[in-house]
Structure 1
Amino acid sequence: MASKQELRLARLEERLRADGVLHLRQAAALLDVSEMTVRRDLARAPETFHYLGGYILPAQGERIGPYRLELESDEHAEAKDAASRRAAALVQAGDTIFVDCGTTTVHLADHLPADSPLTVVCYALNTAQRLAVRPNVRMILLGGLFHTSAQTFSGEEALRTIEHLRINHAFLSAGGVHATHGVTCSNFSEVPIKQAAMKRALRRTLVVDATKIGQVRPAYFASIDQFDEVVTQTGVTLATG
């Protein structure tokens, strides 16, 4: 006869097959136990579950595929916008911030405070277009070789510019966040800029919709513990949680 713990783990596995990812708080409510009990259960089944930044995900969660901005823009758009809205609330008046490329952090430009001066560093054309109409924003657009599929720039010129900056807060996006394989994206050309911005930033926030948790993309750029927090549509979680 299966133990109570085995029954709980089986129920979690069934829910993850349907939803792909589950917050610890949701799992505790589903199983009618404490969050500590859920974490103890997960520790007994590392081959089946990963626990990352407050989220539970299947141990086998890899997904690799091509990336085109226009194909990604509408996918989970509401969740991406909600995550960016939460992230924008972390911005302080007078900050110099770095906004990463992609279809999640582009929404950050729409939710930045409108009543205080900001300096925003970016390297994506879609983000720059939204920032250009914000009168309180001084924009630094990193130049270089233009990549049509992702609408981004890259090259030594961009990296040299970052070297001369002091960034209060870097907001990074990712195509995958995995307990074992780290934080990844689809385009290798983005990796040097992401890493340079993180190096120059006092605070680093990862902004993703929750479907990215458990996924893996081909280009690795950071480990999860290099971030101060992870922001999704459901809230802000310490990256070491």
Structure 2
Amino acid sequence: MTTARTRREEIYHLAVTTGLASVEELSKHFNVTSSTIRRDLAQLHAEGKLARTYGGALPLGAHPEPSLRQRTGEAYEQKHAIAAWAAGQVRTGESVLLDGGSTVGALAHALRGSEALTITTPGVNTLQELQDAPGVVVNCLGGRFREVSQTFVGPLAEAALERMTFDRVFLGADAVTADDGLCEADHEQTRLKELMARRGEAVYVLADSSKLGKRPFHSWVRLPLPWTLVTDAGASEEQLAPFRAAGVQVELAPAVA
């Protein structure tokens, strides 16, 4: 039987590596009551290891949401491999919606030489990448500016989306799971991504393998099938199996030479 001390050590390990699940999920995982898990979290908080949040906890000292600049330097090769694969799906004359984020920003860079594309985005990095691309018409979803993610969110962006449809929608995410979908740090982000997914004929989620199965935050986007997960070739079958079982199309982007 797992001791309380061992259980708390494992809870702390989950917090700093994959992000904690909910209290209810942790109670099932350890086969203890929700009250026991809450006492564990309270003890870890008292020891200065975790900060309590609604329904769970976060590791103290961890940045709650890395900036876009920080993300851009992470998993660089994997993100550009994913972007190259995604760019290969786009056809001349299409209307494409690009989310914010570093991986989708890499896709915007890969689309600079395209012809007769209309690209709509809430992401400042995509606007910068495509501002002088001669074959691309660029539309910006305006709204409230989130400095940390360098994106526009909120009712104005949502209202603009209601007037558009797209051949392809490419979404980014802080993390993604087969059961709960896309994980984000902000509820307005999840609301906007949910609307984005509804407006596209084909929906792709671009996420490198380090983001699969993780739960760093508590805001989620559930995507209706069909949608395609595009990740790097370093993803393990253990990571991918839940997505395949859920009916998600999985594509592995080969490394860029």
TM-score past 0.5 threshold:
yes
Cα distance between partner residues in 1 of 2:222 and 2:70? 25
Query: Quick check: 1:88–1:113 contact (8 Å CA) kept in 2?
Result: no
Match of 1:125 in 2: 124
Cα deviation 1:131-176 (Å, max 9, x = unaligned): 1121111001111111111111112221111111121100011111
Query: Quick check: 2:176–2:213 contact (8 Å CA) kept in 1?
Result: yes
State the secondary structure of the residue aligned to 1:170: strand
Cα distance between partner residues in 2 of 1:108 and 1:63? 31
Cα distance between partner residues in 2 of 1:187 and 1:143? 17
Match of 1:143 in 2: 142
Query: Quick check: 2:83–2:110 contact (8 Å CA) kept in 1?
Result: yes
CA drift of 1:195 comes to: 1.2
Asked if 1:219 corresponds to 2:219, the answer is yes
Match of 1:180 in 2: 179
State the secondary structure of the residue aligned to 2:102: coil
State the secondary structure of the residue aligned to 1:104: helix
Query: Quick check: 2:112–2:133 contact (8 Å CA) kept in 1?
Result: no
State the secondary structure of the residue aligned to 1:81: helix
TM (normalized to structure 1)? 0.68
Q: Which has the higher contact order (CA 8 A, sep 6+)?
A: 1
State the secondary structure of the residue aligned to 1:202: strand
Cα distance between partner residues in 2 of 1:226 and 1:186? 23
Cα distance between partner residues in 1 of 2:171 and 2:100? 8
Match of 2:76 in 1: 77
CA drift of 1:229 comes to: 1.3
Match of 1:239 in 2: 248
For the aligned residue pairs, the C-alpha RMSD in angstroms reads 2.8
Structure 1 runs of 4+ aligned residues shifted over 4 Å read: none
Q: Which amino acid is 2:90 matched to?
A: V
Structure 2: gaps (5+ residues): 1-16, 18-28, 30-56, 236-243, 251-257
Match of 1:108 in 2: 107
Match of 2:189 in 1: 190
- Say how many residue pairs are matched: 184
TM (normalized to structure 2)? 0.64
Identity %: 26
CA drift of 1:228 comes to: 2.4
CA drift of 1:211 comes to: 1.0
The alpha-carbon distance between structure 1 residues 105 and 227, as it changes in their structure 2 partners (threshold 3 A), is farther
CA drift of 1:240 comes to: 4.6
Alignment of 1:47-86 (within 5 A): 65-86=64-85
